[in-house]
């Protein structure tokens, strides 16, 4: 039998390796930025076109490479970071696997220009699908510039599985933020399709966070710092009142490397226990400095997972450090041993003797005596209880289940439900119909079979949702122009996200404009009930940030639900009669007036026959 095992060609092996290292354009950005950091660069520029599908360019002013090093850098397992297996336990650099450039060159067209510091001539290398097409000397600035063009041009199946430009750009921004936050000593510049996304000068960690995410974060941050023999903890955590319903800015960095770790995340969340509402998530930027010999970072191709030698101790230190930081800034509840005596009760008078507390006991009380009233000694409460018992308010032989009965047997023998969600209700505003608002929350009106009760907030949510919904909302929303455009506090990344959804937002009644560093709202839906535009946009951004791999139509539907929920009238809002009639008329014009967008009932019918049975 002939031999069947063969060595794979180098180009095929590189493409297989690329499948682990390069999953999308953001993977290329991550690897190139990390190489630029390792080169000692103090200025790094990132240029993106078409969310990285057409071009990813990273330029730095680092140490640069010689002609031979530049050529060798595209070989598999070629690196300057380690020389032996022992070096794996003392790694403080980022790109040490030696697979990044080889993997990128296997599935893209790559151009590199690099020159060593102090030299007069650099090197240019042009590669395509792992093959060198050109290599020659060139005049260029000190440092390195790498262009990655037409990603996955020779692997069309991989290119087919890429998401929309907005989704891919979001991933690129995430990778950029992770590198930029942990290296505030480096200047970063980021442009996409010729527009500036972020420009970050050198700064301290706190200022870098504010530059990346916006000025509003400055007042949300609480510093945290702990030093131990096992790990040094530093960074910032968010105040409890800044927690959001979706996972926002949550970052762990170990030795200046971004990682994901659910176990450590649990330590943070448990530290916030009873400080944030259920289902809310605090923000944090936590930096851990630990001996490289105590961790293993060589367990995942993207190097975002780490094994700790003593994970339980790090968990305890992290939990205690965050609790201490919250307590130090008077955020976590603490015991007050200097509380005002006026708050705790009566004061002590030196000339008076303290009165001994007395306890009233009923010696004749027998809890096992059938039909005996419940007695707790003498007192007004017990007296009222005995009077109620004597009047027959409670009967030992009464069937208590009747208190919770929700159905009654009518003469015909049928079981009648007192409350139902009727799907056949008709509403005609032309009739002289009586509508009453109860508790500024519910609308009551008479129907042929009983009384209909409508939840006003859910009704308005249903109306707005069907207006905002992509398949039915277009052309139905009137835009109210603002006399004075409102400036929004959003990060550069969020500004790009909103601009990418400008068409859908305009269909929902929102108009926005932006300049280099600011975003303005110039038009809002005409019937916007909530005037806190910043709050509405924050909720909307949460939907967009956490979209993941959701389909664009599905995400637009979620966006419509979020906007409807945050712009609808609230419980407790008084309505005039014309407003009530208008709300009901528009509700019954909806495709599905009986349930809110979240599936909760909008109205119920209190059956007339049930009321008649009660008052017989």
* 2 vs 29, more confident: 29
Helix (H, G, I), strand (E, B) or coil at 433: coil
pLDDT value of position 382: 43
Q: Is the pLDDT of residue 54 over 80?
A: yes
pLDDT value of position 348: 46
Going by pLDDT thresholds of 50, 70 and 90, the confidence category of residue 403 is very low
Going by pLDDT thresholds of 50, 70 and 90, the confidence category of residue 20 is low
Closest of 443, 503, 400, 453 to residue 605, by C-alpha: 453
Average pLDDT over every residue of 506-522: 79
β-sheet with 250-254: strand ranges across: 221-227, 232-238, 284-289, 250-254, 257-259
pLDDT value of position 421: 56
Q: For the whole prediction, is pTM greater than 0.75?
A: no
Q: Is the pLDDT of residue 565 over 90?
A: no
The b/e string for 574-605 (b: 16+ C-beta within 10 A; e otherwise) is ebeeeebbebbebbbebeebbbbbeeeebbbb
pLDDT value of position 564: 86
pLDDT value of position 484: 84
Going by pLDDT thresholds of 50, 70 and 90, the confidence category of residue 387 is very low
Average pLDDT over every residue of 395-424: 46
Give the CA dihedral 420, 426, 429, 432, nearest 10 degrees. -70
Domains and CATH numbers, the chain: 10-200 (3.30.565.10), 205-328 (3.30.230.10), 435-604 (3.30.1370.100)
Tell me if 113 sits within 8 A of 140, measured CB to CB.
yes
Going by pLDDT thresholds of 50, 70 and 90, the confidence category of residue 606 is confident
d(Cα 95, Cα 38) in Å, to the nearest integer? Answer: 7
d(Cα 134, Cα 144) in Å, to the nearest integer? Answer: 17
Going by pLDDT thresholds of 50, 70 and 90, the confidence category of residue 190 is very high
Average pLDDT over every residue of 104-124: 92
Average pLDDT over every residue of 330-356: 50
Q: Which of 93-102, 429-438, 529-538 has the highest mean pLDDT?
A: 429-438
């Amino acid at each position: 039998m002939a031999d069947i095992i063969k060595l794979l060609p180098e180009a095929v092996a590189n493409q297989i390796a690329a499948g682990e290292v390069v999953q999308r354009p953001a993977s290329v950005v991550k690897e190139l930025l990390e190489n630029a950091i390792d080169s000692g660069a103090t200025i790094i520029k990132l240029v993106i076109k078409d969310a990285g599908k057409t071009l990813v360019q990273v330029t730095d002013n680092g140490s640069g490479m010689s002609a031979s090093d530049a050529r060798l850098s595209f070989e598999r397992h070629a690196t300057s970071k380690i020389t032996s297996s022992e070096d794996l336990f003392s790694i403080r650099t980022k790109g040490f696997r030696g697979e990044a450039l080889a993997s990128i060159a296997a599935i893209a067209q790559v151009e590199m220009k690099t020159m060593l510091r102090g030299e007069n001539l650099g090197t240019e290398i042009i590669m395509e699908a792992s093959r060198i097409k050109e290599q020659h000397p060139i005049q260029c600035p000190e440092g390195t510039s790498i262009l990655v063009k037409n990603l996955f041009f020779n692997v069309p199946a991989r290119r087919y599985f890429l998401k929309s430009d907005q989704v891919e750009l979001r991933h690129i921004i995430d990778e950029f933020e992770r590198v930029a936050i942990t290296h505030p000593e480096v200047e970063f510049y980021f442009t996409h399709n010729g527009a500036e996304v972020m420009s970050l000068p050198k700064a301290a960690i706190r200022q870098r966070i504010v530059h990346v995410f916006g000025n509003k974060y400055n007042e949300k941050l609480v510093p945290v710092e702990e030093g131990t023999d096992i790990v040094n903890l530093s960074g910032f955590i968010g105040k409890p009142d800044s927690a959001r319903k979706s996972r926002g800015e949550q970052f762990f960095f170990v030795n200046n490397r971004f990682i994901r770790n659910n176990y450590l995340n649990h330590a943070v969340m448990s530290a916030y226990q009873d400080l944030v509402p259920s289902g809310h998530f605090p923000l944090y930027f936590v930096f851990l400095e630990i001996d490289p010999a105590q961790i293993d970072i060589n367990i995942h191709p993207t190097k975002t997972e780490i094994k700790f030698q003593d994970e339980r101790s790090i968990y305890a230190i992290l939990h205690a450090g965050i609790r201490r930081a919250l307590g130090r800034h008077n955020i976590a509840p603490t015991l007050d041993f200097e509380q005002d005596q006026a708050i705790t009760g009566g004061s002590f008078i030196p000339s008076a003797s303290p009165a001994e507390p007395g306890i009233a006991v009923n010696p004749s009380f027998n809890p096992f005596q059938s039909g005996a009233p419940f007695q707790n000694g003498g007192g007004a409460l017990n007296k009222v209880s005995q009077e109620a018992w004597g009047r027959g308010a409670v009967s030992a032989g009464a069937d208590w289940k009747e208190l919770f009965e929700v159905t009654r047997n009518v003469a015909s023998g049928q079981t009648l439900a007192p409350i139902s969600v009727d799907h056949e209700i008709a509403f005609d505003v032309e009739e002289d119909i009586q509508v009453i608002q109860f508790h500024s929350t519910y609308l009551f009106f008479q129907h042929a079979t009983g009384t209909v009760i409508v939840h006003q907030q859910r009704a308005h949510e249903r109306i707005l949702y069907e207006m905002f919904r992509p398949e039915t909302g277009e052309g139905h929303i009137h835009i109210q122009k603002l006399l004075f455009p409102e400036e929004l506090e959003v990060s550069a990344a969020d500004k790009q996200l909103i601009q990418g959804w400008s068409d859908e937002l305009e269909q929902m009644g929102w108009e926005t404009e932006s300049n280099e560093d600011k975003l303005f709202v110039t038009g809002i839906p005409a019937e916007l009930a909530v005037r806190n535009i910043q709050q509405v946009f924050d909720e909307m951004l949460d939907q967009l940030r956490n979209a993941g791999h959701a389909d664009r139509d599905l995400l637009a539907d979620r966006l419509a639900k979020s906007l409807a929920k945050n712009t609808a009238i609230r419980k407790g809002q008084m309505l005039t009669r014309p407003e009530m009639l208008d709300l009901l008329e528009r509700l019954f014009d909806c495709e599905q007036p009986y349930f809110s967008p979240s599936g909760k009932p909008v109205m119920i019918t209190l059956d007339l026959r049930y009321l008649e049975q009660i008052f017989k």
